[in-house]
């Protein structure tokens, strides 16, 4: 039986699929190859042994065609890992209609597909953005769900669909609320995350942009650890939400200083711009539930993860 991964050629997806193959799973990737670098990732995943088919989760007909092309029928899929999404606060505001089509309608389509294939286990990539501005730290899974961004709202809507399908059809969903994921393969472009933007600017010798005063904090979790969490969730019996972070809080200014040090120092002062709408002030996860229910905890420290990420992008970032 196979594990079906939507968005499997994206940043997190390619790491998840690689790990599934490494652990002996049959992996089927459905991806619309929208994200920068996803076409190349799809070729590498095929070479590693994954079945990769084109499909857009927001279009039901293309999903049906994709599973048919992959030769999948009822009973052939043991789990679905749903990663396909418009990711991030900034891109969701920039492309609101697309964000809702993919993150909400797309999730509905994936749940219908899982029901059609009789695949009870669903692992959904949710987000810490569902919590909004934290009332207390660290944030646990009982924290009120009060998203302050369209992205957070769309992910919460996806979670709501999961729980409805659990009650109505007996699906066994787990929603992994990812905090700030970084590592090799992060996408470039105008909606890139802060770690990529800093590394790209520093490798080019340019001052990066910091929104606000830089004292806002994030819980930065390495993509390899996130992939391991996804695999643990596929194998575990737990249903419900679980935070995937490190439990360590890092300010944007601290992150910049660390990257400067790892790149040899002598870095320019960043350019400060006004805070962006929907950005929370502080964020750090309680990961106790993931430790207890999934048997997972992060293994990659921030400095080690940043070293690996810098090594990956040296020679890939154009001057």
Could you give the 3-state DSSP secondary structure of residue 76? Answer: coil
Residue 155: which of 175, 189, 130 has the closest Cα? 130
Beta carbons of 284 and 138 less than 8 angstroms apart: yes
34 counts as catalytic? no
Q: Enter the DSSP assignment of 8.
A: T
Cβ within 8 Å of residue 60, ≥6 positions away: 109, 112
Q: List, as own/partner pairs, every contact residues 234-238 make where C-beta atoms lie below 8 angstroms and the sequence separation is at least 24, other chains included.
A: 234/3, 234/20, 234/79, 234/81, 234/121, 234/123, 236/174, 236/293, 236/294, 236/295, 237/172, 238/174, 238/293, 238/294
Q: Which of the following is catalytic: 151, 165, 182, 238?
A: 151
Q: Which residues are catalytic?
A: 151
């Amino acid at each position: 039986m196979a594990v079906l991964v939507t968005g499997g050629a994206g940043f997190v997806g390619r790491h998840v699929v690689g790990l599934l193959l490494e652990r002996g799973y049959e992996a089927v990737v459905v991806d619309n190859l929208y994200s920068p670098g996803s076409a190349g990732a799809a070729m590498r995943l095929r070479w590693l042994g994954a079945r990769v088919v084109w499909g857009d989760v927001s279009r039901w007909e293309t999903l049906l065609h994709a599973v048919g092309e992959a030769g999948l029928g009822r009973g052939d899929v043991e789990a679905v890992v749903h990663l396909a999404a418009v990711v991030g606060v900034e891109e969701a505001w920039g492309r609101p209609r697309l964000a809702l089509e993919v993150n909400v309608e797309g999730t509905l389509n994936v749940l219908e597909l899982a029901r059609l294939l009789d695949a009870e286990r669903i692992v959904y990539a949710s987000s810490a953005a569902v919590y909004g501005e934290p009332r207390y730290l660290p944030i646990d899974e009982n924290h009120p769900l009060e998203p302050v961004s369209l992205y957070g709202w769309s992910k919460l809507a996806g979670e709501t669909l999961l729980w409805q399908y659990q009650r109505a059809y007996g699906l066994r969903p787990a929603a992994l609320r990812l905090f700030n994921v970084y590592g090799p393969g992060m996408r470039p472009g105008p909606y890139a995350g802060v770690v990529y933007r800093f590394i790209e600017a520093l490798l080019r010798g340019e001052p990066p942009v910091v929104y606000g005063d830089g004292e806002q904090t994030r819980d930065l979790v390495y993509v390899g650890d996130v992939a391991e969490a996804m695999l643990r969730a596929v194998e575990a019996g737990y249903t419900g939400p679980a935070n995937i972070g490190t439990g360590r809080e890092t300010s944007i200014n601290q992150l910049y200083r660390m990257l400067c040090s790892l790149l040899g120092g002598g870095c320019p002062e960043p350019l400060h711009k006004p805070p962006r709408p929907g950005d929370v002030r502080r964020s750090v996860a309680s990961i106790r539930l993931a430790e207890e229910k999934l048997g997972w905890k992060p293994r990659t420290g921030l400095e080690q993860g940043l070293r690996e990420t810098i090594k990956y992008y040296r020679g890939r970032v154009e001057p």
